[in-house]
Amino acid sequence: MVFGFGKNSAPQHKEVTAQHLQGLLQAGEVLVVDVREVNEFEEGHIPGAVNMPLSTFQPSQLPDAGGKTLVLNCLGGKRSGMALDKCSTAQGAVDTHLAGGFGAWQSAGLPVER
């Protein structure tokens, strides 16, 4: 086996599509945590999202979702994946992010809060 390739080389992240996330939001089942930097978040984000920039991201500081599932997002999916890696290292229960990130959300024509 080549190092870095194999079933246990990296944590597996669950992904939701923008349309699925919108449905979960409408049903009140998720809380979105946006890991983009503050200036990016202010330029537009998923309505109701909480901003926790990756540059200062600590799984222990994640908000209490009150029984909802936390879903992370960034612009394209890379930073939210990095934040999920931090969560898995911290034994966090957060394992889901938005496939394609905020870019996919915008491309789907879903609402943007500014």
Q: How many CB atoms neighbour CB 101 within 10 A?
A: 23
Q: Catalytic site residue 87?
A: no
Residue 54 CA to residue 52 CA, distance in Å, equals 6
Q: Which CATH architecture has domain 14-107?
A: 3-Layer(aba) Sandwich (3.40)
Name the catalytic one among 24, 32, 71, 74: 74
* Annotated domain spans of the chain: 14-107
Give the model's pLDDT for residue 112.
97
Among 28, 5, 30, residue whose Cα is nearest residue 16: 30
Overall pTM > 0.95:
no
Give the tens place of pLDDT for each residue, 43-55: 999 999 999 999 9
